[in-house]
Amino acid sequence: MENNDLEIGDVAIIQESFQSLLDRVRNEGSHANEFSPSIYMAPGVLRDLNPNSFNPRVVSIGPPHRQDENVQGFEKQKASYLIKLMSRINSSLEDVLKLCMEKVYASMNEIKVCYVWTTPYSDAEIAEMMVMDACFILEFISQISELDEKSYSGKLLLHQNVTRDLVLLENQIPLFFLDEIFKCTVLKFNPKASLALLIYRVLIFINPFETFIDISNISTNTHHILSLLHECYTPPDYITSHPFTSTIPSAIDLDRAGVNFKPNQDPTWLMGMEVKLSRFTCFFGSWRKPTLRMSVLVVGDFTESVFRNLIAYEQSGQTRNYVTSYAYAMHMLVNTQEDVAKLVDSGVLVNYLGSNEEAANMINSICKEVAWVDFFYVEQWKTLNIYRNGYWPKHIARMRNTYFSSPWNMIALLAGIILFALTVVQTIFTIKSTKNS
């Protein structure tokens, strides 16, 4: 439509819309570099696959789930944790609480840009929320570190559920602010305390590997508790990623080709997988037989939630995707419950779920709708594929798949061998009888 065809009213409407868009672009564009949230909502496509993996069960931290109905009961208990924390300090409750409030207002702008706000809150509401949540976390992790085995077992369910809630992507508090309140409170009654060590004693209960996580090189100079857990799985600098180019057969197919699976008791990287080659000789010939060594993965009630939140954190683009890479590697190794059974029998997987089929379904679902590029196991996969495609491993795997994949196939093979032997014996006797005649 040409300009001279526009009515006067149309020109006014276009001008008004143009000015509105221009103002919005200028306003939001000027703050684009300042606005860098570190506490994201999980992408909708991942959340829809399993909403329960991202929603807190017991306690809400920060604003995103503050209004959830299921956390309201525990919300009232946070004050008791705050009072217990303050009672440890040789100062009045009012003095310490005022100091904490001064800290939150001094960092108010930095705190605000950490979140994607979906509900408006006043500065006073944000300040109260941040102080209450920070004090609750510090008292909770302090209590965890002080419990003996008997006391902990008595409160196991509550502590596990709260710990699980503390590593949800949408249920975080900025770690720099938690550190500020830590200095105002915990360091007052425990000058030798370390925030990283306190958090570590909580993370060991949610770690999905049998080997303990190592925090010797971990710094609290990160976004939040989830990102601190993520750093515990960072590979050494010499382990590099490459574009993903190939897949491998499942665990049961690799086993039929002669690949062994063994736990790595002292891994250099908790999510690392190493292929060790050893000379194997039989009447078929001689070749280098591989053993895939990996950290023991413990599949339990919280494993799926931990992996989904770590992967969702990686999808935010703030870090490398080594957890996603590991999840894809396990997805390729596990197709069916038989693969889970093989890994369990080999000692590289512990299954606390109801069945091997349930574990297989969980492992296969974690990477659905997940975007990724780099893969940290390219060399290992290349070695396994070269071996698997070798002449004798390929034919041995085919023979084992044909004749030893089920009891009925084995019975049929045994019956065939017996029948063949009887036929040979009968033929021999027939020939001898003919000669004697």
Domain hosting residue 426, numbered range: 406-436
Q: Which of 115-129, 208-222, 286-300, 410-424 has the lowest mean pLDDT?
A: 410-424
Q: Are residues 356 and 268 in the same domain?
A: yes
pLDDT on residue 432: 66
Q: Which range is most confident: 146-155, 292-301, 391-400?
A: 292-301
The average pLDDT across 392-403 equals: 50
**Per-residue buried b or exposed e for 1-26, using 16+ beta carbons within 10 Å of the residue's own CB:** eeeeeeeeeeeeeeeeeeeeeeeeee
- pLDDT score at 366: 94
The CA distance from 392 to 395, in Å, is: 5
For residues 26 and 126, membership in a common domain is answered with no
pTM to 2 decimal places: 0.82
Same domain, 189 and 259: no
Coil, strand or helix: which one is 293?
A: strand
215 and 297 assigned to the same domain: no
The answer to whether residue 230 is domain-embedded is no
Q: Count how many domains the chain has.
A: 4
Residues 338 and 202 in one domain: no
User: C-alpha distances in angstroms, 339 versus 140, 213, 358?
Assistant: 39, 26, 12
Q: What percent of the chain has pLDDT over 90?
A: 56
- 273-285 pLDDT tens trace: 999 987 655 555 4
Same domain assignment for residues 10 and 116: no
Contact 131, 101 (CB under 8 A): yes
Residue 19 in this model has a pLDDT that exceeds 90: no
Residue 37: count of CB within 10 angstroms of its CB: 15
Within a domain: 235: no
Instruction: Assess whether pLDDT exceeds 90 at residue 26.
Output: no
CB distance 369 to 333 below 8 Å = no
- Alpha-carbon span 173 to 72, nearest angstrom: 18
Question: Do the Cβ atoms of 397 and 257 come closer than 8 Å?
Answer: yes
Give domain status of residue 216, yes or no. Answer: yes
Asked if 314 and 431 sit in the same domain, the reply is no
Count, in order, helices (H) and strands (E) of the chain: 21, 7
- Tens-digit pLDDT profile for residues 81-136: 999 999 999 888 899 999 999 999 999 999 999 998 888 899 999 999 999 999 99
**Cα distance between residue 34 and residue 27, in whole Å:** 12
